[in-house]
Structure 1
Amino acid sequence: MENFYLFMLIALAVLAIADLVVGVSNDAVNFLNSAIGSKAISFKSIMIIASLGIFIGAVFSSGMMEVARKGIFVPGQFYFEEIMVIFMAVMITDILLLDFFNTLGLPTSTTVSIVFELLGAAVVMSMIKIGQSQTETWADLTNYINTAKATEIILGILLSVGIAFTVGALVQWLSRLVFTFHYEEKIKNFGAIFGGIALAAIGYFIFMKGLKGTPYYGDFKDVMEGNELMIIIGSFLFWTIFSFAFMKIFKKSILIFVIGMGTFGLALAFSGNDLVNFIGVPMAAYHSYEAWIASGMGASEFSMNVLAQKVPAEPLLLFIAGGVMVLTLWFSKKARTVADTEIGLSRQGDGHEKFQPNMLSRLIVKGSTRLAAFFGTVLPNKTVDTVDSRFEKPVVALATKSKSYELPAFDMIRASINLMVAGVLISIATSMKLPLSTTYVTFMVAMGTSLADRAWGRESAVYRVAGVLNVIGGWFFTAFSAFVAAGTLAFLINWNSRVMIPVLLLLAILLLIRNFFVHKNRDRAITNPDKLKKAESNTVQGIIEESADTIANVVKRTNKIYTDMLRGLAKQDTKKLKKSKKGVKKLDDEVEELRSHIFYFIKNLDETSVRGSNFYIIVLGYLTDVTQSLEYIAKASYKHVNNNHKALRFNQIKDLQEIDNSLESLLKEIEEIFSNREIEKVSMILEKKAELFKFVSEKIEKQIERTRDEESSPKNTTLYFSLLLETKDLVTALTNLMEEYYRSYKKV
């Protein structure tokens, strides 16, 4: 029996390392986004600063492990074997849940996940114990669960969401009124005061949240407590002088230093305090195992009162944990995916939106628009005009559109406010001993400052609001799924631990591997060399040259999709047809993204090259026609097979294969012409259009004869005619596209 619990302990240690990896991948969003989004500091410098904060916070962490030991349940009510079941269920659930959110690219709270996992597993284990007891009832559940602490944690987390959003929006709005978007000159005059306020707030945050609870806090506890006001005033004066000297000596904006220090402070706090979410449970299991071995009692007899006592720090374990977290920060691609989500939602400019609008987001945006219009009528026009002038955004002139990616998602004022407000709110909550989620606070502050900064304009608001609602919905899903999943796993492990633990560990490994490949494939799709490229040239000749690559790409993918669809239809293969539908959807989305880029494309053109916009718009129109024809064929084919209608007759399949062979030959020629820039050969392709049309028309005539004499399936006939007619539309769109290209090419 002792060997089996040793196996469980080793498994928990491995799970702890894995949990550190998936946890850092999600929580990196807390401290990286402001610095990355503002581009105030190079990415390498950001990573070095964050790494130092993470490592120092991890090594100095020790006093924050109590939530895993006694914060949620009453340890004395459980025996050693029961507590190990709870811990194993929690760790397996935590890894799978966080990795799921990382794969989706959504930030969630590691604090909420661990709290509700401990709660779910402890509740189920308590119910099992109560069910086996002859004297206890369900009312005795409160003897097992620390309901007061659990309720306090949950309410604190929920309140922090609304408070963080409101305070972030208010502070950003006031800051923008003072500094405007043209803040460079004002920072020269008032930067020292702003730097003093921001750095004093961040410095106080580092001590109150980042180092409180460590064994080193006691050395200056007497100095800190009771003298907070004097320390804040002294800190403000020191940092104001420092900010003034920094700007005079280095001739750089103090905002750069504020963002760097804020990033360090949040990374330090995250590591020092959220480390419990990753290794708190395994460390509690380790101490439980040590106490059980020393007792000499049976696993079902040894009460876990030992967990109610404070334990010394484990410097070696904390050192290893810090190293794992730093390595994860540098090498985890999922951390970048989660960070991209928040940066995309808070981005000042327009661009590709990750989330689709929903009914609730539309209602919120419409209601907010009407409310803003109402205030516009109530307030004096002069006041409205004055406020609007403070929010006028500078026009950034780019030499070429290819440099658009260099623009920051938001400016350094907003990045500084994000870090400062998040730090202050977390510090206040810590000083008042109120629990909260650092993820929720930092995310909602970023969303509040985005709203106040008018980043959510009429062009993007419905998408951004939908994104925020999706993320918040994911948080509620985190709590519910963590509770249910951990409780379910605790029940299964308690039922037969020797069988279920190896099975669940194997299942966890398989799911992690699957999620890894899902994320890898999604990354590959984003960086796919076959993805359609936006036009970046500002001359007619350059536009025509770039369009050749786009046309060749679309023709190549059209050829493959069309062939796969007909093969799937012939074999009644719904899986292949579904894959073809996804391929068409992906191509259509890329063409639509090019169309949404037209505004910026036209803005970027030289005065002498404006006529190139007409060519580009027409080309995109024909590409849209191509994708629409493919989409109709894909949907009709999939619907026919998925509804289990009669398969196409042999003669019909044979005719479609002949058409596919002819079309495949034509499309390959077109692809080679545009890939090799042999544009003069376009005229030869145009002559083949009539031949293909005649060939398709003959197949239509044959089907009419078959319908009159032998055809018995109305569904087959409808589908067959639809495929032939849509194929003609597809060829028409392609030939029109080539004619337009050929005419424009000859004019250059």
Structure 2
Amino acid sequence: MENIYIFMLVALVTLAIIDLVVGVSNDAVNFLNSAIGSRAVSFKTIMIVASIGVAFGALSSSGMMEVARKGIFVPGQFMFSEIMVIFLAVMLTDILLLDFFNTMGLPTSTTVSIVFELLGAAVCVAVIKIASSETETFLSLGNYINSDKALEIIVGILLSVFIAFSIGALAQFLSRLVLSFKFEKLSPIYGAVFSGIAVTSIVYFLLIKGFKNAAFMSDSVKAFVNGNVWGTVGINFAFWTIVSLALIQFFKINIYRIIIILGTFALAMAFAGNDLVNFIGVPIAAFNSYEGWTLAGSPDPTTYSMEGLAGAVPTKPILLLGAGLIMVLTLWFSSKAKAVVKTSVDLARQDEGSERFEPNYLSRIFVRFFINANYTIDKITPEGFKKFSDKQFSQIPASRSRKEEAPAFDMVRASVNLMVASVLISIATSMKLPLSTTYVTFMVTMGTSLADRAWGTESAVYRVAGVLNVIGGWFFTAISAFVAASVMAAAIYFLKLPGIIGLLLLAAFFLTRNFLSHRKKSKEIKTETSLQKAESSSIQGVIQESAANISSVVKRGNKIYSTSLDSLARQDLSRLKKNKKGISKLNVEVDELRDNIFYFIKNLDESSDGASQFYITTLGYLQDMTQSLEYISKASYKHVNNNHKNLRFNQIKELKEIEGNLNELFDEIQITFENKNFEHIGAILDQKQQLFDQVSDKINKQIQRTRTEESSPKNTTLYFGLLQETKDLIVATMNLLEQYDNAYDGSVTAATISMPEKDTSDSEVTE
């Protein structure tokens, strides 16, 4: 009997290591997004500072482990065999849930997940016990679950969403109103006072939240800080303001960078100190349970009560240090952590750009409501204040190329993010109110971005949709964590060892699949040539820059066209589905280029109207090409997905003939534009009529077949649609080539005319 519990312990230790990796990959957003988004310091420096904070935090987390032992359920109501079932179910659920969110690139709350997993597994086991008891009813469930604590956590988390967003928005509005976007040109006094407030907030946060459970903090220091809150704050503010003024005035140091570095360290430390329980608290509690059971002489595990978990059990420092090391390594090497951070930074960035999330009904309602509310507020706001605030919130417009290299937001906003998150978490901790650091830091970031006018009418509906997706994901975490942990606990309880082995294999399968899928997707992103925005101010420059885009569209379009027809012939639904995603991605990239036209024209010289028209027309033809490819791809997928009859042999044969000629054409175009051998375009255009005649011939043949032998309306509709869109694809491609040929000839002629006389003879010799 003892062997099964040793096996469960080994499984829990393994799961704890994996959970540390997937947990840190998600929670890194809590302390990295402000520093990375503002680019205040190099990425390497950010990671070093965060790593030191995580290491210190891990050593100060011993006291938090009690949450896993007795925070959610009453341990004395469960036997040793039951408590091990609960802990194993929780760890299995936690790993799969967090890995799912990491793979999606979405931040979620590890606190919410662990709380609801413990709640779900404990409720499941309690219900099983009550159902098998003759004396208890389901009203007795309250004896097993610490319902007051669970309710307190849920309410605290819900409130923290609105409070963090509101306070973040207010703090950023006031900070920008005083400092403006030209904060670096203001008197050093402004920066020193702002730094005094920010650093005091962060230091107080460290004292209250970061070091409160640290072994190296003496009881006298803790007592002084807790008993003299305002005195501690006042002394800190005066000290840090003077130090900041000296650093700015005499050493010319950018004080905002110091704030960001210190804030990153503080949040990283608090994360490790308080959230480490989310990853290793359950396995450590399981080890404590097993230790207590063996010390008692290994009695019957089904009758040995776990009352011992209700007491304080210190965690060995070596375990905390080992966990901290795994967290630091994950921080450096996890690509999923970078994906989660990117989502948060993109939602908060100051400028417009490509948006990850699509608008939804709720986001449109919210934006419409706030636009109307803004009109009402605008009417009652004094004109003088409106002019002053508009001046303070105005930015120096940068050229498009410079804008792309700029940080997502400036150092004032990054500092406010860190300061407000620190203050809110400190206050909640001192009041013993539970909350999620992920909820607080994310919602503060969203609030500051809204107040900073980063959510303009051009981007608000997309940003709000993103925020709603993330918040919805949090609630999904709570519900799915409760349900999944309950199911796993029931499976382990009834199936014993076979159930444990089966669930472990299932977890290994999903983790491996997600890892391979994420790695494959990352490689595809690296290897696939994305379309690049043009930056030149002349036709000749745009011709050269756009060549790579045309080569990429033709190459990817050729693959999409061939795959559509080949998969249609083979009735291969999975390839058609994947192909549909490929054309959707290409469509999005072309749309992004069109969305960038505003910045492209803004960046041009006044004399470059020709370059603008050439670029706009080129994008129009590229869009025509992708729309034809999209129809071909989606129509083929729909036909096979609806289980319609396969195309006739003659139809497939004719399509393959066209495909062969188009493959040769696209290959020729791709090579021409890759090598920028634009003189060859004329030879390609000579094939235009031949291709048109071939497609027209196939259309005429199908018309004759329809009159005499064709019996499937769906096949006829599909075949005519494919031929017509193929013709449109050829038209768009040839129009693009003709425009390119004419523009290139014109630009070369203009360059030759403007060439100095002394170079003319050399040019002729070369020719």
Distance in 2, Cα, partners of 1:64 & 1:147: 19
The C-alpha deviation readout for 1:470-524, integer Å capped at 9, x for no partner, is 0000000000000000010000000112001111111111111111122223323
Q: CA deviation at 1:187?
A: 5.3
Tell me the residue number matched to 1:409.
Answer: 408
The C-alpha deviation readout for 1:252-300, integer Å capped at 9, x for no partner, is 2211111111111101100111110010000000111111011111211
Distance in 2, Cα, partners of 1:90 & 1:308: 19
Tell me the residue number matched to 1:530.
Answer: 529
Tell me the residue number matched to 1:289.
Answer: 290
Distance in 2, Cα, partners of 1:406 & 1:579: 33
SS of equivalent to 1:195: helix
SS of equivalent to 2:398: coil
Is residue 2:353 matched to residue 1:354?
Answer: no
More displaced stretch, 146-155 vs 712-721:
712-721
Q: How many residues align?
A: 745
Q: CA deviation at 1:380?
A: 2.7
Change beyond 3 A, Cα 1:187–1:145: farther
Tell me the residue number matched to 2:613.
Answer: 614
In structure 1, stretches of 5+ residues that fail to align are: none
More displaced stretch, 473-482 vs 499-508:
499-508
Tell me the residue number matched to 1:95.
Answer: 95
1:355 counterpart letter in structure 2? F
SS of equivalent to 1:65: helix
The C-alpha deviation readout for 1:300-347, integer Å capped at 9, x for no partner, is 121101100101231110110110011111111111111011111110
1:383 counterpart letter in structure 2? F
Tell me the residue number matched to 1:566.
Answer: 565
The C-alpha deviation readout for 1:553-606, integer Å capped at 9, x for no partner, is 111112111111111121222222222212211111111111111111222224
Q: CA deviation at 1:158?
A: 1.1
Q: CA deviation at 1:179?
A: 0.8
More displaced stretch, 709-718 vs 353-362:
709-718
Tell me the residue number matched to 2:761.
Answer: none
Distance in 2, Cα, partners of 1:168 & 1:60: 28
Distance in 2, Cα, partners of 1:577 & 1:312: 57
Tell me the residue number matched to 2:757.
Answer: none
Distance in 1, Cα, partners of 2:582 & 2:407: 32
After superposition, the CA RMSD in angstroms is: 1.3
Checking the alignment, whether the CA contact within 8 Å between 2:529 and 2:552 is kept in structure 1 is yes
Superposed structure 1 runs of 4+ greater than 6 Å apart: none
Tell me the residue number matched to 1:125.
Answer: 125
Tell me the residue number matched to 1:203.
Answer: 203
Tell me the residue number matched to 1:372.
Answer: 374
Distance in 1, Cα, partners of 2:388 & 2:223: 49
SS of equivalent to 1:484: helix
SS of equivalent to 2:63: coil
Is residue 2:339 matched to residue 1:337?
Answer: yes
Q: CA deviation at 1:408?
A: 0.9
Checking the alignment, whether the CA contact within 8 Å between 1:79 and 1:304 is kept in structure 2 is yes
SS of equivalent to 1:423: helix
Checking the alignment, whether the CA contact within 8 Å between 1:55 and 1:323 is kept in structure 2 is yes
2:583 counterpart letter in structure 1? V
The C-alpha deviation readout for 1:393-413, integer Å capped at 9, x for no partner, is 122357xx2x54431111111
1:235-246 matched pairs, under 5 angstroms = 235-246=236-247
Distance in 2, Cα, partners of 1:280 & 1:146: 17
SS of equivalent to 1:496: helix
Tell me the residue number matched to 1:272.
Answer: 273
More displaced stretch, 650-659 vs 414-423:
650-659
Is residue 2:3 matched to residue 1:3?
Answer: yes
Distance in 1, Cα, partners of 2:376 & 2:223: 53
SS of equivalent to 1:84: helix
Distance in 2, Cα, partners of 1:118 & 1:692: 66
Q: CA deviation at 1:677?
A: 2.1
Distance in 2, Cα, partners of 1:29 & 1:635: 37
2:225 counterpart letter in structure 1? M
Tell me the residue number matched to 1:261.
Answer: 262
SS of equivalent to 1:173: helix
Q: CA deviation at 1:381?
A: 2.5
SS of equivalent to 1:436: coil
2:566 counterpart letter in structure 1? R
Report the TM-score, using the length of structure 2 for normalisation: 0.95
Checking the alignment, whether the CA contact within 8 Å between 2:399 and 2:602 is kept in structure 1 is no
Q: CA deviation at 1:530?
A: 2.4
Q: CA deviation at 1:114?
A: 0.3
SS of equivalent to 2:533: coil
2:257 counterpart letter in structure 1? I
1:206 counterpart letter in structure 2? L
Distance in 1, Cα, partners of 2:553 & 2:222: 67
What fraction of aligned residue pairs are identical, expressed as a percent?
Answer: 61
More displaced stretch, 502-511 vs 539-548:
539-548
Tell me the residue number matched to 2:764.
Answer: none
Checking the alignment, whether the CA contact within 8 Å between 1:168 and 1:445 is kept in structure 2 is yes
Q: CA deviation at 1:608?
A: 4.2
Is residue 2:318 matched to residue 1:319?
Answer: no
More displaced stretch, 81-90 vs 149-158:
149-158
Is residue 2:214 matched to residue 1:214?
Answer: yes
2:125 counterpart letter in structure 1? M
In structure 2, stretches of 5+ residues that fail to align are: 748-767
Checking the alignment, whether the CA contact within 8 Å between 2:94 and 2:113 is kept in structure 1 is yes
The C-alpha deviation readout for 1:432-473, integer Å capped at 9, x for no partner, is 010100000000111111111110001100000000000000
Q: CA deviation at 1:655?
A: 1.2
Tell me the residue number matched to 1:58.
Answer: 58
Change beyond 3 A, Cα 1:187–1:397: farther
More displaced stretch, 688-697 vs 119-128:
688-697
Tell me the residue number matched to 1:730.
Answer: 729
Q: CA deviation at 1:218?
A: 4.2
SS of equivalent to 1:225: helix
Checking the alignment, whether the CA contact within 8 Å between 1:179 and 1:187 is kept in structure 2 is no
1:8 counterpart letter in structure 2? M
More displaced stretch, 126-135 vs 235-244:
235-244
Tell me the residue number matched to 2:491.
Answer: 492
